[in-house]
């Protein structure tokens, strides 16, 4: 519990200054809905990992949410594909996403604060949270990159560390060298 408290204080201090305590932030802190990605790549539970990797590559994303009957049930990341399929020299056509997806799925609601999202990420050692609404429907994805962009923006893109985490650059470096 102490770690979560520390994360909450660090996040809120970065966002709102050291003099503001998390308890007094009611209504002032950004919500997940304000920073999440709404367009999420999904794959069905029984799709093979080759189809999943192709969908991720086509859309330029690092993960896909696994669904069954329209409900989010897991997540596949680039790391899952590399460590569980490629590194094992398994034919991606013969492996189903359900066999390598990360589960249980850690989720958050759109109205959750960024502090809550960052606490969940820290607690479960994850970089992505699936966002679901009150009915359990998939509505987005929030990542550590989204949190970093919020911090970089909050600090006027003047902090190199936040800019690096947010992958923000301007001028001759805009877009980065690996495009």
What pLDDT was estimated at residue 29? 87
| Mean local confidence (pLDDT), 36-65 | 95
pLDDT value at residue 168 = 57
Could you report the per-residue pLDDT of 55-78, keeping only the tens digit for each? 999 999 999 999 998 899 999 999
Helix (H) or strand (E) holding 115: helix 114-124
Average pLDDT, the chain: 80
The angle formed by the CA atoms of residues 83, 84 and 89, to the nearest 5 degrees, is: 90
Interval 106-161: pLDDT, tens: 999 999 999 999 999 999 999 999 999 999 899 999 999 899 888 878 878 777 77
Confidence label for 48 from pLDDT (cuts 50, 70 and 90): very high
Contact in structure between 98 and 74 (CB atoms under 8 Å): yes
Listing from the earlier edge strand, what are the strands of the sheet with 138-143?
107-108, 128-132, 138-143
Residue showing tokens 């802190």: 29
Q: Is the pLDDT of residue 179 over 80?
A: no
**Which domains, ranges and CATH numbers included, belong to the chain?**
2-13+31-171 (3.10.580.10)
Q: For the purposes of burial, counting CB atoms within 10 Å of the CB of 8, is it exposed (0-12), middle (13-18) or buried (19 or more)? A: buried
Q: Mapping DSSP to helix (H, G, I), strand (E, B) and coil, where does residue 6 land?
A: helix
Q: At what angle do helices 2-16 and 114-124 cross, to 10 degrees?
A: 140
- In the predicted structure, residue 17 carries a pLDDT above the cut 80: no
- By CB neighbour count within 10 A (0-12 exposed, 13-18 middle, 19+ buried), where does 104 fall? exposed
Question: 31: closest CA among 171, 152, 142?
Answer: 142
Rounded Cα gap, residues 48 and 45, in angstroms:
9
- Please state the separation of Cα 107 from the chain's center in Å: 10
Residues 80-108 have pLDDT tens digits of: 999 999 888 889 899 999 999 999 999 99
Query: Is the pTM above the cut of 0.95?
Result: no
Do 76 and 64 form a contact (C-beta atoms < 8 A)?
yes
């Amino acid at each position: 519990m102490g770690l979560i408290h520390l994360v909450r204080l660090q996040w809120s201090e970065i966002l709102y200054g050291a003099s503001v305590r998390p308890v007094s932030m009611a209504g002032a802190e950004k919500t997940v809905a304000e920073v999440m990605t709404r367009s999420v790549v999904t794959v069905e539970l029984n799709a093979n990992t080759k189809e999943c990797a192709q969908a991720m590559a086509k859309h330029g994303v690092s993960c896909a949410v696994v669904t069954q009957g329209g409900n989010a049930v897991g997540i596949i990341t680039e790391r899952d594909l590399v460590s569980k399929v490629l590194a094992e020299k398994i034919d991606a056509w013969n492996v189903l996403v359900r066999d390598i997806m990360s589960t249980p799925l850690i989720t958050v609601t759109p109205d959750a604060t960024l502090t809550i999202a960052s606490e969940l990420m820290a607690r479960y050692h994850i970089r992505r949270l699936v966002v679901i609404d009150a009915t359990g429907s998939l509505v987005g994805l929030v990542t550590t990159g989204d949190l970093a962009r919020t911090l970089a923006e909050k600090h006027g893109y003047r902090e190199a560390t936040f800019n690096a985490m947010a992958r923000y650059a301007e001028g001759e470096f805009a877009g980065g060298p690996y495009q």
